[in-house]
């Protein structure tokens, strides 16, 4: 789970970089910016909680899975630009669901 969260943060940051650059001219990607930002925040927090063996990890993993799934759905609208982020979010959401079960 830590590895998939870390990878999700990296790809979401790349997606953010791209979308923010595009948003200067094209506001259609603002949903992608919003969901990618949430992924970075949630995955960073989940990694921190997991590192200290917090008993809140399962509950937070459930919320993180939902955030990653929303980002995946949004990124799939832009397969050329956001493919890596969508795939990473799917993997992370799947891992988070296993932990939250």
Tell whether the model's pLDDT for residue 89 goes beyond 90: yes
Q: Using an 8 Å Cβ cutoff, are 58 and 100 in contact?
A: yes
Q: Using an 8 Å Cβ cutoff, are 100 and 68 in contact?
A: no
By the 10 Å C-beta count (0-12 exposed, 13-18 middle, 19+ buried), 79 is classed as: exposed
Q: 31 φ, ψ to 5°?
A: -65, -40
pLDDT score, position 17: 78
- Mean pLDDT confidence for 35-40: 92
Q: Kindly report the CATH class assigned to 2-100.
A: mainly alpha
Rounded to two decimals, the pTM is 0.84
Residue with tokens 């890596």: 84
pLDDT score, position 24: 63
Whole-number average pLDDT of the chain: 88
| pLDDT digit string, tens, across residues 7-30 | 878 888 788 777 777 656 667 788
* Nearest residue to 32 (alpha-carbon basis) of 47, 11, 48, 46: 11
Domain locations in the chain?
Answer: 2-100
Q: Using an 8 Å Cβ cutoff, are 93 and 7 in contact?
A: no
């Amino acid at each position: 789970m830590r590895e998939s969260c870390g990878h999700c943060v990296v790809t979401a940051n790349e997606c953010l970089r791209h979308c923010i650059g595009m948003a200067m001219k094209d506001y259609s990607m603002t949903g992608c910016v919003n969901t990618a930002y949430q992924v970075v925040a949630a995955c960073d927090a989940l990694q921190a909680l997991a590192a200290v063996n917090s008993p809140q990890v399962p509950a937070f993993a459930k919320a993180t899975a939902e955030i990653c799934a929303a980002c995946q759905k949004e990124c799939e609208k832009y397969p050329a630009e956001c493919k890596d982020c969508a795939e990473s979010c799917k993997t992370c959401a799947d891992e988070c669901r296993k932990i939250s079960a």
